[in-house]
């Protein structure tokens, strides 16, 4: 009897959680529902305790207008009203539990109170309140559920990178993206500003970087397969951000507790810079142009590669360091954060190997490996960045040097992108690490079946993002700054597509980086995910529903082709056909692996949830199923 009672209570609690109006992303540290909440009306005001909170009150008022239909007045008040207000209060005495970014939120019949130690904490409290006011029912909602929230982040670095080199996004798109990230308590925007395909930041001392390096010939089609520039063809695609644009974006981000980390990727990935200043490479090739997405490299099965065009700065040329001093000097003056990202990834060293000056430099320093020469270069770059009052951060190749005289100081930080192992290695060497391994955080990867997604070389499903653990076993957790999702833009052409690739995977990663590990569960995330989807729909965000799509896998053993169907979303029903009919809720329902018959057979499959189609239909002929088979 007791067991039955326990099961009934458990099921009731599960249903209540799924139906609860308290559906926040990222999941807070503590959420305690209260019996009675607060109802907003025309007389409700937003009051704040000190002048620096005025912009946050104004922004909260604007955020609440859409879901409530109200425009709430806001004013400063040292003592908040006893009833009828949303109160934003900085703690007179610091609350040790909350730290710099934490907050407490209480909603009752009398009103809503948000307290925090800092403006950042107040801001995050308002973002949670905005979600509580927006259950996305399609109607205006003036009821804030009763709740007590205690919340603070697990990691200090909760980042997302946007590549604006391969696809240029205008300033308005960047500002919108920052807004979308801030609502998820993301606090670091990594801005990939320079690469082979475009230089996007004005450097006044080096005007050709934008007059030449920011522009390329227009091309469509799959990146890496586009046609080469024709002789004399004008470079009309591109753009750049003026320094005034940069200052505006920085201010906008700061107001939303986001630090911008600018990236100038060197010594590789420098084709746009070399199109403007070809004398800075070993080859000094004046025919180099900003790459429009044509093939200029060969990649091999063992992970090595060859650059068909020299896209690498010359580490033996002092003019390169003069150039970089000018670049990083102006960059440092525009971005107030402590880090400048200097890239360091995928540096092809073949041109260095053939260059007499590079070889002489290696001999003079007794370098035994080409990685030592890159280490020498990165150490020189670090000194330049340090001279500007900043610290260097870069991709995990920056610490590959074997020579102790060509290694970075421990002030440098490492972004582990190849995998988890590189982050472990960096932490064991004493470096601070941002965990951003491609298999878990590269949100340009396909998020569903390859037949449904823009083609790219790898896949990353939503559940994999969500279940990523940034602190590997056996690593000093104090050296893990946090984590980051990366949106490379080779296969993007519009901001709507950038949103589609970002969301909901950034929703998942925001929880990975904010929420205590013990509070995260995939099953618990689903109802909050579905509420967030409705919010995104109301806000006009082009999110993906790819997690609802069927997952098709096959094995081929003993001459039997066996088909397995699955779905990331628990509770989904999967229907299929093998008889050329369209699948639906009256088709065969998948319950167990299927032996695919011989012959000209086509699989069609679709998912349903709550009696309605939820995912996209996948259609695969038998020969494609055979190709996918694991033996």
Three-state DSSP at 511 gives helix
Rounded CA gap, 506 and 90, in Å?
Answer: 29
- Cβ(151)–Cβ(29) under 8 Å? yes
Three-state DSSP at 294 gives coil
Give the chain's length.
Answer: 631
The owner of tokens 């004398």 is 279
* Strand-strand pairing, 103-108 and 147-151: antiparallel
Strand (E) or helix (H) holding 381: helix 370-387
Give me 57's structure tokens.
Answer: 């009150």
Q: What is the DSSP letter of 600?
A: S
Give me 371's structure tokens.
Answer: 């990685």
Q: What is the largest CA-CA distance in the chain?
A: 85
- Cβ(295)–Cβ(338) under 8 Å? no
Among residues 101, 180, 330, 346, the one annotated as catalytic is 346
287 burial class (0-12, 13-18, 19+ CB within 10 angstroms)?
Answer: exposed
- Cβ(155)–Cβ(480) under 8 Å? yes
Rounded CA gap, 490 and 224, in Å?
Answer: 8
- Cβ(310)–Cβ(369) under 8 Å? no
Q: What is the DSSP letter of 581?
A: P
CA-nearest of 599, 531, 534, 610 to 570 is 610
370 cis-preceded (ω within 30 degrees of 0): no
CA-nearest of 545, 543, 548, 552 to 449 is 552
User: Which alpha helices (H) appear in 192-236, and where do they start and end?
Assistant: 208-211
- Cβ(528)–Cβ(128) under 8 Å? no
CA distances from 480 to 97, 187, 386 (A): 20, 16, 22
Question: Is 573 considered catalytic here?
Answer: no
Three-state DSSP at 243 gives helix
How many other β-carbons are positioned within 10 Å of the β-carbon of residue 43?
Answer: 10
Three-state DSSP at 236 gives coil
Give me 230's structure tokens.
Answer: 């024709």
Q: CB-based contacts of 322: which residues, under 8 Å, 6+ apart?
A: none
Rounded CA gap, 438 and 468, in Å?
Answer: 11
Long-range contacts, 364-367 (Cβ 8 Å, 24+) = 365/403, 365/405, 365/406, 366/403, 367/403, 367/406
Rounded CA gap, 182 and 151, in Å?
Answer: 16
262 pairs with which residues across the strands?
191
First to last CA, the chain: 48
- Which are the catalytic amino acids? 346
């Amino acid at each position: 009897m007791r067991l039955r009672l326990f099961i009934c209570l458990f099921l009731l609690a599960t249903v209540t959680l799924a139906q609860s109006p308290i559906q926040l992303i990222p999941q807070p540290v503590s959420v305690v529902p209260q019996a009675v909440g607060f109802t907003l009306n025309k007389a409700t005001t937003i009051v704040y305790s000190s002048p620096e909170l005025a912009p946050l009150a104004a922004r909260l008022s604007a955020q609440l207008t859409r879901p409530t239909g109200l425009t709430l007045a806001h004013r400063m008040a040292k003592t908040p009203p006893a009833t009828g207000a949303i109160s934003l209060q900085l703690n007179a005495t610091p609350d040790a539990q909350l730290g710099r970014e934490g907050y407490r939120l209480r909603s009752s019949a009398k009103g809503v109170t948000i307290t925090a130690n800092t403006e950042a904490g107040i801001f995050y409290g308002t973002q949670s309140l905005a979600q509580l006011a927006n259950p996305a029912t399609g109607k205006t909602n003036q009821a804030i559920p009763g709740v007590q929230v205690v919340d603070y982040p697990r990691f200090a670095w909760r980042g997302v990178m946007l590549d604006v080199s391969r696809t240029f996004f205008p300033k308005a798109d960047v500002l919108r993206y920052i807004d979308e990230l801030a609502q998820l308590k993301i606090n670091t925007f990594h801005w990939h500003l320079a690469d082979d395909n475009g230089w996007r930041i004005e450097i006044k001392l080096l005007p050709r970087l934008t007059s030449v390096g920011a522009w390329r010939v227009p091309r469509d089609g799959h990146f890496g397969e586009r046609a080469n520039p024709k002789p004399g063809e004008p470079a009309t695609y591109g753009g750049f951000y003026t320094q005034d644009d940069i200052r505006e974006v920085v201010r906008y981000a700061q107001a939303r507790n986001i630090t911008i980390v600018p990236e100038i990727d060197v010594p590789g990935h420098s084709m746009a810079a070399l199109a403007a200043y070809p004398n800075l490479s070993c080859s000094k090739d004046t025919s180099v142009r900003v790459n429009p997405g044509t093939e200029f490299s060969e990649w091999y099965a063992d992970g090595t590669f060859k650059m068909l065009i020299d896209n690498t700065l010359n580490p033996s040329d002092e003019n390169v360091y003069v150039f970089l001093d000018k670049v990083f000097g102006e960059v440092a003056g525009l971005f107030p954060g402590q880090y400048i990202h200097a890239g360091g990834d995928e540096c092809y060293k073949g041109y260095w190997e053939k260059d007499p000056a590079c070889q002489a430099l290696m001999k003079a320093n007794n370098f035994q490996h080409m990685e030592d020469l890159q280490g020498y270069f990165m150490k020189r770059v670090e000194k330049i960045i340090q001279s500007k009052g900043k610290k260097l951060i870069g991709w995990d190749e920056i610490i590959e040097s074997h020579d102790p005289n060509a290694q970075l100081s421990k002030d440098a930080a490492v972004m582990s992108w190849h995998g988890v192992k590189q982050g472990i290695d960096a932490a064991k060497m004493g470096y601070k690490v941002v965990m951003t391994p491609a298999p878990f955080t590269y949100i340009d990867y396909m998020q569903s079946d390859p037949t449904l997604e823009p083609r790219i070389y790898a896949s990353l499903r939503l559940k994999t993002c969500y279940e990523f653990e940034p602190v590997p076993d056996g690593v000093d957790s104090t050296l893990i700054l946090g984590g980051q999702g990366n949106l490379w833009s080779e296969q993007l052409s519009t901001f709507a597509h950038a949103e589609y690739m970002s969301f909901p995977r950034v929703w998942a990663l925001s929880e990975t980086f904010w929420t205590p590990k013990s509070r995260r569960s995939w099953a618990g995330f689903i109802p909050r995910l579905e509420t967030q989807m409705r919010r995104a729909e109301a806000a006009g965000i082009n999110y993906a529903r790819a997690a609802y799509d069927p997952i098709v896998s096959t094995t081929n053993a003993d001459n039997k082709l066996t088909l397995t169907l699955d779905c990331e979303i628990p509770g989904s029903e999967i229907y299929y056909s093998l008889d050329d009919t369209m699948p639906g809720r009256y088709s065969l329902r998948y319950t167990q692996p299927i032996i695919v018959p011989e012959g000209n057979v086509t699989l069609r499959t679709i998912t349903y949830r709550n009696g309605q189609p939820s995912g996209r239909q996948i259609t695969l002929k038998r020969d494609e199923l055979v190709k996918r088979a694991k033996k």
